[in-house]
Structure 1
Amino acid sequence: MRLDKFLKISRIIKRRTMAKEVAEQGRITVNGNQAKASTVLSEGDELVIRFGQKRVTLKVNSLRENVRKDETETLYTILKEEKLEQ
């Protein structure tokens, strides 16, 4: 599954276009490598996403096309959240 689609389905980022923009800005890495919106994810991948003053590290648990809102947190596990210094 594409990175931008996973971020939208898992509701980490609300819109696919926003997920694409974040990836294009170089704020997402997959397994330590800079990621594009079209990067193909697989289960077990580790994502690091920079949101403003926060860096979130998460692990992909499952890739599913259709997920109910209350099941989205089963798709990933947050490993670490850290505040960035300016």
Structure 2
Amino acid sequence: MRLDKFLKVSRLIKRRTLAKEVADQGRITVNGKVSKASSVIKVGDELGIRFGQKVVTTRIEMLKETVKKEESIMMYTILKEERLEKVEPEFIDDED
């Protein structure tokens, strides 16, 4: 199954076009490698998805073309959620 379709069907990302945009921005990894929306995924793969300042790591448990909303959470297991630390810009001291 394509990565963008899985993200939509599993409801990790609500729309397939949005899933494609996020993948094209390099914010999704499959098994540690940055992946495109067209990447083929399989059961057991680990996805890392960056949502703003948060990274969610999930494992794919099931692949289905269509599922009900209640069943969509069975398609993956959340392994961890971590916040990225904000990088504070360094101030340049122009007083010389």
Unaligned regions of 5+ residues in structure 1, if any?
none
Q: Secondary structure of the equivalent of 2:11?
A: coil
- Partner of residue 94, structure 2: none
**Which residue is 1:33 aligned to?**
33
SS state at 2:63 partner: coil
Name the structure 2 match of 1:19. Answer: 19
- What is the correspondence of 1:41-80 to structure 2 with a 5 Å cutoff? 41-80=41-80
Using the size of structure 2 for normalisation, the TM-score is 0.88
1:20-71 Cα distance to aligned partner (Å, 9 max, x none): 0000000000001110000000000000000001000000000001100000
Query: Distance in 1 between the 2:83 and 2:63 partners?
Result: 28
Identity of aligned residues (%): 67
Measured on the aligned residues, the alpha-carbon RMSD in Å equals 0.4
CA radius of gyration, larger in:
2
